[in-house]
Structure 1
Amino acid sequence: MAIEQMRMMNLIGPKPTMNSVLVDLLRLDACEFIHAQGEVDKNNFALSLEDEDNLDKNIELNYVKPFGTSQSLDQGRDLLQGLRDFYGFEDIDQVYTDRVDMDKDYDPIIDMMKKQRADHDQIHKSLEILEEIENNRALFDDIDANLEDLSELENFNVRFGFLTAEGRFRLKKNYSNILAVFYHTGTLDKDREIYFTIYPKEMDNEIDRVLKSLGWMDIDILGHDERISKDIILNLGVEIQELRSQSDQIESERVQYVHDHQEDMKEALAYIYLKDKIEELKTMMLQSDHYYFLSAWVGLSDIEAIKALEGKYKGLSIDFIDPKKNSNPPTKLKNWKFFKPFEFLINMYGTPNYYEFDPTVIFGITYMVLFGAMFGDIGQGAVFFLAGMLLSRKLGAFGQLLKRLGLSSMIFGALYGSVFGSEEIFSGLWFKPFDQINRTLVTAICFGVLLLLISYAIGIYNQVKQDEKSQAFFSKEGVLGLVIFLNVINIGVYLLAKLVVVPIFVSVFFIVLSLVLMLFQGPIVEKLTHKKVVESKVDYYTEGIFSLVETMLSTVTGIISFIRVGAFAINHVGLFLAFQTLGKMIGSSGGNTLVLIVGNIVIIALEGLIVFIQSLRLEYYEMFSRFYKGNGRLFKADKISMKED
């Protein structure tokens, strides 16, 4: 339909209500927040002094400063993710964020959740350390010595670890120069051998450097972690069992707490999420002693809902500014539901800028016609339609796109009389492409000419709308380009059909005249506007001549390019006939049926993909290149969503 009109919203409000106002704006799903400093620099926050309430705001506007980056932003995200993982709350429904009251005290339940998680993490960390020590000790069962006694030697240090093959080779080579004794105690795996070493304590630093150079990896079996006391090491098995019991107890308490307080917990987590979102928004806002200042792009249709906040919160001032031509508003596409999925393919090429024509509806109609014309089959189209229905929930827009393409394929299948490749079931409502090849190709070219005429018309409209009047007339996508296109069509009709619509010499004259005007566009515009356009005449005319050649080539090839629509319509039938012939060669009815099934699968998968790409190519390179810039940016409202990515 169209691109929705946008407005720049500048809002000033008293600090005490800031959090509640921001949450209400987020709930509207209508604002794309931007840095407010840019609007302050443009003096767009200045309020009328006729209202006395605005006096303080105007004064404090001179002393605004950023909120700054808050450390709580990362802390809040980490806390939220940690609690969600601990309690198993993957997706939290929007009903909980809607229920949050920013003035309510959620600290008691948040503190309880934090405590349960902290207790769990502490016990599991200790358990991991002790279990690692227990596993490591099993590697040294063959040592005929008390490990605790080794750790308490007065003049010697003992270290346990492993070396790789390279480390063992270097140890063997330099063993006589190392003031330490190494004992090989076993094999960890094919690449690592287990050792323990004893050396004088005064040589600790030197031996440490040597071990690092050998690639030594320590194995803790003596409890060197500061959190593990010697008493725990002496009673390792008992301590591990005790920690496991505590872990089971905490898990039981966690499950019970979720059962009793799940609703309150989710609301508290939603509160943490909203606080985090507020901190994120504050990085783009400004503040004074008593007020906050924010800016955002909003759609025209959302203004009334936003203005309602002025009645809800005292002291709120909201101003909406119409964007100027030199600004760069985001693009908010506003299309009928049927055409919404095609926005996916439009944005793949590039989002339309705010000031140009939204091609979604034209694209949707022409893309379905192109795809259906090249892949017209009731049965195979039905497969696409059913696949789209099944995949819509998982693939979103792409699934919906498959449904529409399948529907188009079914319509053209009815016109062609094709069902799973067979044209013998019924005669069809139009004609059979394979039986009337010339008619198929001519129809494809005529349809292509119609699409190109539409493209030229939209291109001229876009350029006039964006105040590019010289381009609208002189460019190859403008009036002169259209004149060349129409006259090339006239010459083509005469050469192929011997039909004279306009005398050929007239067409040649207008083509030459248009090319000359294109070449001298710069000097003509300079004369009319009295502005310098041509910097270097040599470069300008050299580039201009090549541009004229490219214009003629692109005009002719653009028309011919649409012949592929007819070619694929013919090929679609031909490919099925090839599989049908293979099936008959097998001889048995079962084999014939199997070949036809496999053939249809191949056609749906392979040819379906090719036709999808070819239709896209015609849209992008033959149509969009004549009218569409696609240099805009999509409107992305800051919104509330606690769904896991």
Structure 2
Amino acid sequence: MPWSEAVTPVRMRRVAVVVPQVALRDTLVRIAEAGCVELDRAEEAAPGAAAVRLQRLRGRGTTAGPESTAPAVLAAAAPDLDLLEQRGCVALLAGEAQLEERAEGAVRRGEVAALAGWCPAAEVPRVAGRLAAAGGALLPLPSPYGADPPTLLRPGRTASFTPLVTTYGTPAYADLDPSWPAGLAYVAMFGIMFGDVGHGALLLLGALALRLGWPRRWARLRRLWPFLAGAGIASMLAGVAYGEFFGPTGLLPVLWLSPLEDPTRLLAAAVALGAGLLALAHAAGAVNRVRESGWGTGLYAASGCAGLLFYLGLALAAAGLLLHLRAPAVAGGALAVAGLALVASGLFRATAGGGAGLAETVVRLFDVVVRTGTNTLSFARLAAFGLTHAALAGLVWRGTTALAGRGAAGVAGAALLFVVGTAVSFGLEALVAGVQALRLEFYELFSRLFETEGRPFRPWHVSPAEPADPATKVIPCSPG
């Protein structure tokens, strides 16, 4: 897959389903089984016959057992709705109610019915083949003017990282899909704050347990095991750099720095990393603004090209000043001023003009400058919580070694203190690091990527029922 596709949502196609009216139900059943077409639905449609019976059945409260909570299913042939109601077949009635709702949105002309919807472009040939067997056709259509396609983030290896993005919101269809870069940034920030080889190994064991489906009550979280494994690996790598194994125990050499002994250097590194991540977020935001609204808006937006130029100029000027290099400092200052001027122009164009517009522009420009500085310095929390993690683990280790030298009772107390203290520090710091990394991801990075929200792709999917009873055309089921 080209990298340009890996960082964009799944390409969607507007499609039309054209079918003889006599084959409409069979076609809809095939679409429901395929589970990759989002059909347009009729607005304010009256409940169909199946929906009325389903409401009546649920209103009587006569359903019981697994049938009352089972997901909707569809019979291959049209069932007897009255018999379904008598038997309390909620799942079948729910499936028929959904089918009726989709069928209500069909446009009928003579003997032909047509529906419109959205389908992933790569799935169009497969779905078309399924519908052709029922006498229907799936035809690509041009996208309606002014209507954005629904957004489907790419499944596959990076699917474990998509909750980071979807929890914040649904990206617009034109925007980049930042799932895997955001996931890598998250685990890197987590590892810096939770750097410890021993604690990271525990996270890896937790990821392995999820992968194997244990404990079973967490089975729904199984798809997140790569995410947890990535956090564990990042923590172990940072622990190797810090020389920490269940704290600064001295069992590992310090390859880079010890947080407790060199906090200033760790702080500078955290801010530098944050500046790099913010620069990448600005660049991605600039691409999104251009893809969303064209160069006219993308050039002047604070989260677009102008904001990127301002931030890069500031970074270059700061580097020049810190390294005592005059040329980079002057060049960076000039770029920052040019970027800020473009931002001011864009802000003023969005106002009504005049004195009030100028005052609004000045206030908003001041906010842009202040937020740029505070967002960069906010990454200092990576060092702060990395230092806190090392201090807590070090406290547990010092207490353990102090007790271990006091006889057999001291050894038992040391073991208890090490287990309980490690569990407490592990749970507390893992929670803090996870929340803080999420905060940096959302407020500092995603706020620059996304300005508009898209609509998630919701394909219609209903599983097929067991083969129908030829006598009654109803799937046998236990009465409620």
Q: State the TM bucket, normalised to the shorter chain.
A: 0.7 to 0.9
Q: For residues 40-55 of structure 1, what are the structure 2 equivalents within 5 Å?
A: none
| Alpha-carbon distance, 1:293 to partner | 2.8
Give 1:3 deviation, angstroms. Answer: 0.4
Post-superposition offset of 1:469: 1.6
Residue in 1 aligned with 2:432?
Answer: 610
**Normalising to structure 1: TM-score of the pair?**
0.62
The reply to whether residue 329 of structure 1 matches residue 304 of structure 2 is no
Instruction: Tell whether the 8 Å contact from 1:92 to 1:642 is kept in structure 2 after alignment.
Output: no
Q: Is the 2:51–2:94 contact (alpha carbons within 8 Å) kept by the matching residues of 1? A: no
Q: CA deviation at 1:444?
A: 1.6
Moved more, 597-606 or 506-515: 506-515
- Tell me how far 1:27 sits from its aligned partner: 0.4
Give the structure 1 partner of residue 280 of structure 2.
Answer: 454
The alpha carbon displacement at 1:333 in A equals: 0.8
Match of 1:438 in 2: 264
Alignment of 1:87-486 (within 5 A): 88-89=66-67, 100-102=75-77, 111=83, 114=86, 271-288=92-109, 290-314=111-135, 316-324=136-144, 326-337=146-157, 339-388=158-207, 389=210, 390=214, 393-397=219-223, 401-427=227-253, 430-486=256-312
1:549 is aligned to 2:374: no
Range that drifts further, 623-632 or 389-398: 389-398
The 1:111/1:510 distance shift into structure 2, 3 A limit, reads closer
CA contact (8 A) 2:151 2:173 kept: yes
1:516 matched residue in structure 2: 341
Query: CA shift at 1:604, angstroms?
Result: 1.8
Distance apart, 1:374 and its partner CA: 1.1
1:74 maps onto 2:83 in alignment? no
1:28 Cα shift?
A: 0.3
Contact 1:378 1:419 in 2 (8 A): yes
Q: Which 5+ residue runs of structure 1 have no aligned equivalent? A: 38-65, 118-267, 526-532
Q: Percent identity?
A: 23
Instruction: Write out per-residue CA displacement over residues 266-306 of structure 1, whole angstroms, 9 at most, x where no aligned residue.
Output: xx876545323312323433445533332221111210122
Equivalent of residue 383 in structure 2, options 566, 574, 587: 566
CA distance in structure 1 between the aligned counterparts of 2:167 and 2:313, rounded to whole angstroms: 33
Q: For 2:327, what is the secondary structure of its paired residue?
A: coil
Q: Which amino acid aligns with 1:23?
A: V
Q: CA deviation at 1:471?
A: 3.3
Q: Which residue of 1 aligns with 2:355?
A: 538
* Alpha-carbon distance in structure 1 between the residues aligned to 2:29 and 2:131: 14
Asked if the contact 2:42–2:101 (Cα under 8 Å) also holds between the matched residues in 1, the reply is no
Report the AA paired with residue 442 of structure 2.
Y
**1:483-524 Cα shifts (integer Å, max 9, x gaps):** 3223322343344x343163544444443343334333467x
Amino acid at match of 1:73: A
In 2, distance between residues paired with 1:22 and 1:407? 46
**Stretch of structure 1 that moved more, 427-436 or 4-13:** 427-436
CA distance in 2, matches of 1:503, 1:310: 63
Q: Look up the equivalent residue of 1:511 and give its one-letter code.
A: A
Distance apart, 1:367 and its partner CA: 0.7
Task: Determine the structure 2 residue equivalent to 1:640.
Answer: 462
Partner of 1:298, secondary structure, is strand
Tell me, yes or no, if the aligned pair for 1:36 and 1:294 is still in contact at 8 Å: no
- Matched residue, 2:10: 4
Q: What is the SS of the residue equivalent to 1:447? A: helix
Matched, 1:597 2:444: no
Q: Displacement, 1:621?
A: 1.4
CA contact (8 A) 2:312 2:335 kept: no
SS of aligned partner of 1:308? helix
- RMSD across aligned C-alpha pairs, in angstroms? 3.3
TM superposition shift of 1:396: 4.6
**Residues 6 and 323 of structure 1 are in contact (CA less than 8 Å); yes or no, is this contact kept in structure 2?**
no
Question: Per the alignment, do residues 476 and 403 of structure 1 end up closer, same or farther by CA in structure 2, a change over 3 Å counting?
Answer: same
Q: Tell me the matched-pair count.
A: 447
Deviation at 1:73, TM superposition (A): 0.9
Asked if structure 2 preserves the Cα contact closer than 8 Å seen for 1:377 and 1:413, the reply is: yes
Contact 1:32 1:296 in 2 (8 A): yes
1:623 pairs with one of 445, 451, 455: 445
Per-residue CA deviation, residues 310-345 of structure 1 (Å, 9 max, x unaligned), is 53133x3432224256112210111432x2122112
**Structure 2 equivalent of residue 214 of structure 1:** none
- Maintained 8 Å contact 1:369/1:408: yes
Structure 2 unaligned segments of length 5 or more: list them: 1-5, 466-480
For the pair shown, the structure with the greater C-alpha radius of gyration is: 1
> CA shift at 1:579, angstroms?
2.5
Does residue 21 of structure 2 align to residue 15 of structure 1?
A: yes
State whether residues 26 and 134 of structure 2, in contact with CA within 8 Å, keep that contact through their aligned partners in structure 1.
no
